[in-house]
Structure 1
Amino acid sequence: MLTSLPDSPIAPLPAFAASDAALAISTQELASAFAPFVAQYPSAEEEVWRTEIERRQKKIRKGYLKRQLLGWLPSRQRREDTVVEEYDRAWSKIDVSTYEIGGELPRLAPWDWRGQPMFASDLGATRVRQVMLVRMLEQLRPRRVLEVGCGNGINLMLLSGRFPDVAFTGVELTRAGQAAAQDFQQQAEMPEALQSYAPLPLTDITAFRRVDFRQGNAADLPFEAGAFDLVYSCLALEQMERIRRQALAEVARVCSRHAFLIEPFRDMNDSGWPRRNVIRRDYFRGRIDELKDHGLTPVWATNDFPQEAFLKVCAVLAEKRA
């Protein structure tokens, strides 16, 4: 089980280990964050695991073939209106009780980490990313931080409670996501359910009220050049294959020091079922080295954390070139 992993630093990818940043992220911290959202630890040979893997492979194969045949049709492409429609529904359904530890686990799917299969909820992945973000902020010490594609604001709510002196801003494409975040801010203090969901201690349970939530498009961010010391995203660029270059250029434009992107870079999804799945979903297909085209130099990266069986994610820290 995950909680028995040794407490050691998360391994960076050798090609992107030119920085000491993020080396404070530990295996045990990520394992402990993810564990409450694991429903089962089957072996790879168990029928329940093999059956689910085969079912999902069949679905991916079917969608991949359709994409290969009909992907040129505008109606088959993952355009802005498709993303807005899908996530307007998603953000309008999520409330604080969704994040409660010990409650019913939604959206169970096959996950794995270091050879251990798991049936888990993606709510665990949000906690894992929170640990990574906290440790990264402790290393970089930014004063102004932007999240691109902040959804309902969960990442920023928790980060603000850990770093109440940092000016946090979130920009979200959907009106429903922005509204969910701003409605949540009407509370006097962070509910206990969300406080317990935070994987690391909070210092100010009212700081979330000061986060600045904006509605906007990642291809044309409503901020001045260099407005933020750190710009980050968590599985937001995955939805932006159609505007990939514009979005990356905007991330680079508005950051003055660093970008931290936790996304399904093609380097991790370049073959096999993950590759077919990315194509089927019309997801982000940029490579890590592509960041250099926009003045961002990758200096540290890792994929050593719990991963969906059919979509592999990499956390990449990049520095802004002068």
Structure 2
Amino acid sequence: MKLKIPYQDKITLGYSLARTVHYTTQKLYLPLFEFLATGKNLHRGHTTPQNVKLIYSELYRLLKKDSDNISKGLYPWEVLKPEKMTEHLRRFPRIIMDGYQIAKRRENKNQKDFNPEAQELMRDLPEYYQRNFHFQTGGYLTKDSADLYEHQVEILFSGAADAMRRLIIPLLKEPYPGDGEGLHFLEVAAGTGRLTRFMKMAFPKAKITVLDLSSPYLKKAQENLAEFDRLDFVQGAAEELPFKDGIFDCVYSCFLFHELPIEIRRQVVAETFRVLKEGGWMGLVDSVQNEDVSHFEWALEQFPVDFHEPFYKNYLLNPMEGLMTYRGFDKLKRDQGFFAKALVGQKPFSS
């Protein structure tokens, strides 16, 4: 029996699929960057027809789930609103040039390539942060990096990054089903504020404090979120939160934990527990881990090879569920889509 999709779902799903085609087309340029930078053809033994079919089958499932969530009213269709096409197209030549530089760093295994702007900013930052994650120019420490980051991530995930981020919203809508009135959320490692945008659309009356370690990324988040109110922006580290105990209803992050050493991961979970109110919720969206999937093991093994992710292998072996449970979170709930999982847990009330 053929599955019937309501008319609105067809529009949202169709748009998301078209978006995937667009970013996948841009992704096809990556082998050219590699060849120009290294003289080598980019060939991955794992990109078999069977694996490619599996990837796009899982991507479709994610986009279908995202469309269903819009249909259910968990977040509005405006989350799909694209940026101005002129800005998008104007940025792409910069993506091409940066792709060439990324390929050169990958070939030379250079993870410490920083210009004077980044070197000045990194002086007071943690050692684990002072590297070119993904071999990207400037790491997370320049304006140019902040300008290109979201576009680059969407190319990497064939237009699925936003849908993966939104996996957390249905899980938080269970304890907080309304518009967020009276609630105070904290996003740690918010980057350019992409998930914050979706959270404000889902919880328009919530106050959200936006925290990131990078001043260029935090400034970019302020620019990206200028249309919203009840937002505070704070520079700081997730493992040393500059807030009093028990003041937030929810603390969440996106694509953070796989980029941290395990001791810092533990500190972030502990700090989250500290600043949450009793009954408050911790939430995260991040890469799937070894215990979550078997059919993607080949991709998880290849990811830190292709992209500078020095803490990723350890992350795969240490489930976030275990770290959260050990610290005292309970009532854990999760969801999964494509290469991401969303996880939430509650800080218990005192007995």
TM-score higher than 0.5:
yes
- Correspondence 1:160-309 to 2 at 5 A: 160-184=200-224, 187=226, 190=227, 208-242=228-262, 243-256=264-277, 257-267=280-290, 268=292, 271-278=297-304, 281-284=309-312, 285=315, 286-287=318-319, 288-297=321-330, 299-303=332-336, 305=337, 307=338
Is the 2:187–2:253 contact (alpha carbons within 8 Å) kept by the matching residues of 1? yes
Identity, % of aligned positions: 21
TM-score normalised by L of structure 2: 0.55
Is the 1:298–1:316 contact (alpha carbons within 8 Å) kept by the matching residues of 2? no
Q: RMSD over aligned Cα, in angstroms?
A: 4.3
Shift of the alpha carbon at 1:265? 4.8
Q: Kindly indicate whether structure 1 or structure 2 has the higher relative contact order, using CA contacts under 8 Å at least 6 residues apart.
A: 1
TM-score normalised by L of structure 1: 0.59
Show the counterpart of 1:321. 348
CA distance in 2: counterparts of 1:249 and 1:30, whole angstroms: 39
Show the counterpart of 2:87. none
CA distance in 1: counterparts of 2:328 and 2:15, whole angstroms: 33
Aligned CA distance change for structure 1 residues 253 and 184 (closer, same or farther; 3 Å):
same
Shift of the alpha carbon at 1:6? 6.7
Is the 2:131–2:139 contact (alpha carbons within 8 Å) kept by the matching residues of 1? yes
SS at the partner of 1:266?
A: coil
SS at the partner of 2:242?
A: coil
The one-letter code of the counterpart of 1:173 is: L
- Correspondence 1:32-181 to 2 at 5 A: 34-39=16-21, 54=44, 79-82=128-131, 85-89=138-142, 92-94=145-147, 120-121=158-159, 124-130=160-166, 132-141=167-176, 143-181=183-221
Shift of the alpha carbon at 1:137? 3.9
The one-letter code of the counterpart of 2:334 is: A
Is the 1:157–1:211 contact (alpha carbons within 8 Å) kept by the matching residues of 2? no
Is the 2:253–2:285 contact (alpha carbons within 8 Å) kept by the matching residues of 1? yes
Q: List per-residue Cα deviations over 1:87-137 (Å, max 9, x = no partner).
A: 123765428xx98xxxxx7567575xxxxxxxx13xx3224423x344334
Give the unaligned 5+ runs of structure 2.
Answer: 25-30, 32-40, 48-105, 110-125
Shift of the alpha carbon at 1:78? 7.7
Shift of the alpha carbon at 1:176? 0.6
CA distance in 1: counterparts of 2:43 and 2:127, whole angstroms: 25
The one-letter code of the counterpart of 2:250 is: L
Shift of the alpha carbon at 1:248? 1.5
Aligned residues: 238
User: If you compute each CA radius of gyration, which structure gives the higher value, 1 or 2?
Assistant: 2
Comparing 217-226 with 175-184, greater Cα deviation is found at: 175-184
Greater strand content: 1
Aligned CA distance change for structure 1 residues 158 and 274 (closer, same or farther; 3 Å):
closer
